[in-house]
Amino acid sequence: MADTILVTRSSIPAMEEYIEEIASMWETHWLTNMGPKHKDLQQQLCGYLGVENVELLTNGHMALELTLQAMNLQGEVITTPFTFASTTHAIVRNGLTPVFCDIDPITFTMDTDKLEKLVTDRTCAIMPVHVYGNVCNVEEIDRIAKKYNLKVIYDAAHTFGETYQGKGIGSYGDASCFSFHATKVFNTIEGGAVCFTDKGLGEALYDLKNFGIHGQEEVSAVGANAKMNEFCAAMGLCNLRHVEEEIGKRKLVVERYREHLENVPGIQLNAVQPEVKPNYAYFPAIFEEKQFGASREEVFTKLAENGVSARKYFYPLTNTFTAFHGQFDVNETPTALHISKRVLTLPLYADLELEDVDRICKIILNCKN
């Protein structure tokens, strides 16, 4: 059993496997700028994710930020505040105004019953989040987007490899943005990707990630630099070989947690969604103090005292960030506020020992006494 358990631990291939993957770079000296590893990973991801196009980027945040920029949008973007800073920041950094929709109390994704009344004549897009790998109500979002002619950009940072109704999750909406950060189910150390169908969007994204350069004598757009380098792509190629096995191991960890915590009064676990092939990205638990007998803070502290680092993903809500002081009214998203004050994401990674899960659950269940 481990002395200290962190909320997650990066998956990495055997050192020899990575060295073998990068060895050719000592021959070619080709380290970045859409080299052979980048191309190979791009192609393999199209197949694995079941999507038509993948553009690789330096991280998941640039995937969100540059996708919005590539769409050349103006006005308001409807999103949720129960997410990582990145989602809201991508909107604001594009000069767009986030409009916060509340979340569903079971899936923690955008509450589509509250979505349509937030649409105004300034709305240009919807940016929902498949938070924890929970799939949004894609049908209703699609219906509303079509009715009002809005773009849909999914923050799919947590949904690597998932399918809904047998279709790759990245094939929904106008674009889906994945994170391949070290803490994710699949990592390229740092990295991200955008999946899309419109080739025009792909060209604009390519421009934005590479200074707008076309060949050596033409620069046709004011792009940034968000290219995935060859070492990151090589890590991705290695990790992709093992990702199914890793997801399988995560499943066992999640099942063990559920054995202990399912049906405990005052603990709400993540929803199991029909027609979704899950990736077991996160294990959130919601603690209702009155029914459970201990608050989220008490559980958090007790775990920390025992060397277990659970995290409050996602607290605080992005619409309460000091960076946005006074701009948004948190009372407009009461369910998100309720959940964010009660949620703890428990340690979850492929190699987490099942005995450690037993120990974590024992500490949690002892809190109510």
Where along the sequence are the contacts to ligand T4K (CB under 6 A)? 6-10, 59-61, 83-84, 86-87, 129, 155, 157-158, 179, 181-183, 192, 309, 313
CA pair distance 193, 177, nearest whole angstrom: 6
Question: 307 CB contacts (<8 Å, ≥6 apart)?
Answer: 2, 3, 4, 5
Indicate the residue among 42 and 86 with the shorter CB distance to ligand T4K.
Answer: 86
**Token pair of 86, please?**
């990145």
Q: Which two tokens stand for residue 260?
A: 């202990």
- Strands in 163-164's sheet, in edge-to-edge order, are 167-168, 163-164, 276-277
- DSSP conformation letters of 176-218: EEEE--TTSSS--SS-EEEEES-HHHHHHHHHHHBTTEETTTE
The nearer residue to ligand T4K, 109 or 123, going by C-beta atoms, is 109
Least spacing, CB of residue 324 vs ligand T4K, in Å: 17
Residue (59 or 279) nearer to ligand T4K, CB: 59
Alpha carbons 7 and 260: distance in angstroms, whole number:
18
Residue (294 or 333) nearer to ligand T4K, CB: 333
- Is the torsion defined by CA of 232, 226, 196, 206 positive or negative? negative
The residue number whose beta carbon is nearest to ligand T4K equals 60
CB 9, min distance to ligand T4K, A: 4
- Alpha helix stretches (DSSP H) within 281-353: 289-292, 296-305, 334-340
Please say which residue, 10 or 32, places its beta carbon nearer to ligand T4K.
10
For the CB of residue 121, give the shortest distance to ligand T4K in the complex, in Å: 28
Residue 235 CB, nearest distance to ligand T4K (Å)? 11
Rounded least distance, CB 217 to ligand T4K, Å: 33
